Amino acid sequence: MKSNNNKVFLIVMILWTVITLLRVAFHQPWFDEAHAYIIAKELSPLDVISLMNVEGHTFIWYFLLMPFAKADVWYPYPMLILNWLFMFFAMLVFWKKAPLHPVTKTVVSFSYIFLAQLPVVARCYAIGVLFLFMLAAFYKERLEKPLIYAACITLCANTSVIALFGAVGFGFVFAYDLIKGALNGLVSRKDFRIAFVILAIGAVLILWQLGCSNANFINEDNQFLYRFSSYLISENPNIIDYLNIFALASVILALPVYCFKNKRVFFILLFPIVAMLYTFLTKYGGGPHHYIFFYIFALIGLWIMKYFDVSSKKAVVAEIAVALLFFAQIFSHMSYTPGYFNSGSKVMVDVFITDEVKNNGKIMIFKAFDMRFIPYIKDKNLDIYYYATAEISDYLTYNTPLLEVAKYYLSPTWIHKVNKGDKQLYGILEVTDMTPAEGFVFEDRDYKMIFEPYKIFNKTYGIFKIIEIKK
């Protein structure tokens, strides 16, 4: 039986590795991936830590990117491969340590979350998943190796806020057991002190980064309810959408009942989910790359609970429910998958940044998400301006979503601030009814700005010559 399980593991990991590496090879980073790279490239370590209160993340991913970003070599592949490696090791930990049926593990491995999202999109989440899996894998041995476990909690907390929620759940349980273990002689006084020092260092780092969170992170008019419902079911519901809802309902009913037998496991399952719901309902509506952690925490809850109850009826029902949840993810989010290959960031540079633009032009960017191509631009003489500030880019993009164009109203007077000198001003804009590919005009009392099409990419984006006429 063990030999068969090893064969399944080997086959699944080979297929998973081939598929995900092919996806990585053809992936062109989106704005949020390029954004972290730019921050790592332009800021010092202390500046990165200070910036985290407006980033909504924690610092480790940015620090890991720094050597590659500051050397500016082979973008984006060092970032993509680094992210992939974290996910690869997370999958190894999952297959080797999770006490789940091989069918369940296979379904999880080939779900959208673990095949298309986490190993391909290079953000801070894959490294957080690796540490969460390690905390689950060595949960039973936490008092035998308290220093290593405390270090894993601290590292996990400093990968992202979502992983922080899970780390806090594990951390409270570990701290409680550490105190009991020290009182009962199961943990040495030396290990007890050092473990708490490690946890305290982690807490100080979190307070340093997130203690003064930016006031701009406020509730987005209950966008969470709309976004999460859209994540669960498409505009034209099909059988897979209904399976997705059925599986989620099954997990909500079965998993808490199963985990409630062990109060520690129940807390580890419940705390991050409640923290996520509170954050999404009161601070920030989130997106699909956040919602996948509801599924991941459900998987972790099942995982650690099965250390204590492997074969009861509740265990079987809970595992089937979780397996169905991830099975639905294989099909229900295929529509998301192409987006992770087609950001067009490199293609946009190849199409838009011609020799004419490089030698005699400057570019204005109007939306933060349109800045995903910036790391591909190696020509330092090409000035890139933000519409949000009407100032030359310092390659830091963290504040632009709060300032970007509302409904594409473009102020000619505002644009005039950068339209000086001999260089031609260009603007990169999404093609919409307000900004058609054929060109358009915006004017106010003092200036008239003619947006003349220069290059249009795939009928979706264009670079326009901006011609100013003073009235």
Q: What is the pLDDT of residue 419?
A: 82
Considering the domain architecture, whether residues 323 and 385 belong to the same structural domain is answered as: no
319 near 100, Cβ under 8 Å? Answer: yes
205 near 45, Cβ under 8 Å? Answer: no
Task: Please give the Cα distance from 103 to 81 (Å, whole number).
Answer: 28
Tell me which of 275, 308, 340 is where a domain ends: 340
Considering the domain architecture, whether residues 365 and 336 belong to the same structural domain is answered as: no
Closest CA to 117 of 345, 347, 333, 369: 333
Mean pLDDT of 365-380: 79
Considering the domain architecture, whether residues 328 and 454 belong to the same structural domain is answered as: no
The encoded tokens of residue 316 equal: 């079987």
Is the per-residue pLDDT at 179 higher than 60?
Answer: yes
Q: What is the pLDDT of residue 3?
A: 66
Considering the domain architecture, whether residues 357 and 291 belong to the same structural domain is answered as: no
Mean pLDDT for the chain?
Answer: 87
Considering the domain architecture, whether residues 150 and 189 belong to the same structural domain is answered as: yes
DSSP state of 28: -
- Domain containing 378: what range? 345-470
Considering the domain architecture, whether residues 365 and 302 belong to the same structural domain is answered as: no
Is the per-residue pLDDT at 380 higher than 90?
Answer: no
Considering the domain architecture, whether residues 385 and 461 belong to the same structural domain is answered as: yes
Considering the domain architecture, whether residues 83 and 102 belong to the same structural domain is answered as: yes
Mean pLDDT of 35-51: 87
Considering the domain architecture, whether residues 111 and 174 belong to the same structural domain is answered as: yes
User: pLDDT band at residue 229, thresholds of 50, 70 and 90?
Assistant: confident
pLDDT in tens, 281-297: 888 888 888 999 999 99
Considering the domain architecture, whether residues 350 and 335 belong to the same structural domain is answered as: no
Q: Is the peptide bond before 146 cis (omega within 30 degrees of 0)?
A: no
Does 114 or 54 have the greater pLDDT score? 114
Considering the domain architecture, whether residues 359 and 229 belong to the same structural domain is answered as: no
Max CA-CA distance within the chain? 84
Our count of domains for the chain comes to: 2
Say whether pTM exceeds 0.75.
Answer: yes
Tell me which of 316, 340, 364 is where a domain ends: 340
Is the per-residue pLDDT at 193 higher than 50?
Answer: yes
Q: What is the pLDDT of residue 400?
A: 37
Mean pLDDT of 187-193: 94
Q: What is the pLDDT of residue 1?
A: 52
User: pLDDT band at residue 235, thresholds of 50, 70 and 90?
Assistant: confident
Of the listed ranges 143-147, 348-352, 362-366, 418-422, the least confidently predicted one is: 418-422
Mean pLDDT of 82-95: 98
Considering the domain architecture, whether residues 181 and 329 belong to the same structural domain is answered as: yes
Tell me which of 300, 324, 340 is where a domain ends: 340
What share of the chain in percent tops pLDDT 90? Answer: 58
